[in-house]
Amino acid sequence: MKKTLFREMFVYNIVIVILSMSLTAVMLYTQLGAYFKSSIYKTLDSRAEQVAKMSAYLIDAGGGMEHAIGLKEVMSLIGHDEGQGFIIADKNGKMVVNVGFAYGQITAQNIEYGELVDSIEGETVAREGNLGGVFKNKLLYVTTPLWTKRGIEGVVIVCSTVPYIQNMQLGVMRMFFWAVCFVIMLTLLVAAWLSQRISKPVKEMTLVARRIASGDFSQRVSCDAEGELGILSASFNQMTASLAEMDEVQSSFISDVSHELRTPMTIISGFVDGILDGTIPHEEHKKYLEIVLSEIKRLNRLVNDLLEMSRLNSGKIELKMVPFDIAESMRKAIVAFEQGINEKKVDVEVDFENDTMMALGNSDSIYRVITNILDNAVKFTPEGGRIGIKIRTEGGKVKLSVENSGNGLSEKELKHIWDRFYQADKARSASRRGAGLGLYIVKNIMNAHDNLIYAESKEGEWTRFTFELDSVKNK
- Residue 398's nearest CA partner among 455, 446, 326 is 326
E strand residue ranges, 149-245: 151-161
What is the reported pTM? 0.46
Q: How many Cβ atoms from other residues are within 10 Å of residue 311's Cβ?
A: 14
Q: How many CA atoms lie within 13 A of 257 on its CB side?
A: 18
pLDDT of residue 428: 45
- Gap between the Cα atoms of 128 and 135, Å rounded: 11
CA gap 252, 239 in Å, rounded: 20
Sign of CA dihedral 260, 261, 264, 266: negative
Structure confidence by residue, pLDDT tens digits, 153-198: 889 888 887 655 566 666 777 777 777 777 777 777 777 777 667 7
Architecture of domain 5-167: 2-Layer Sandwich (3.30)
Identify the three-state secondary structure at position 450. Answer: coil
Residues of each domain in the chain carrying CATH 3.30.565.10 = 322-471
Q: What is the CATH number of domain 227-313?
A: 1.10.287.130
How many whole angstroms separate alpha carbon 371 and alpha carbon 333? 6
Q: Which residues of the chain have pLDDT under 70?
A: 1-10, 33, 63-83, 102-104, 162-170, 195-196, 199, 223-229, 249, 252-253, 256-257, 259-260, 263, 309-318, 420-436, 474-475
Nearest to 385 by CA among 407, 398, 361, 404: 404
Question: ∠461-465-469 over CA atoms, to 5°?
Answer: 155
pLDDT score of 452: 92
Q: What is the spatial distance between Cα 35 and Cα 41, in angstroms, rounded to a whole number? A: 10
- Separation of alpha carbons 262 and 307, rounded Å: 19
Nearest-CA neighbor of 271 among 296, 243, 249?
A: 296
Cα separation, 83 vs 165, in Å, equals 9
Q: Where in the chain is the domain with CATH 3.30.450.20?
A: 5-167
Q: What's the CATH number for 322-471?
A: 3.30.565.10
Please tell me the predicted confidence (pLDDT) of residue 429: 43
Q: Where in the chain is the domain with CATH 1.10.287.130?
A: 227-313
What value does the CA radius of gyration of the chain take, rounded to a whole number of Å? 50
What is the pLDDT at residue 390? 95
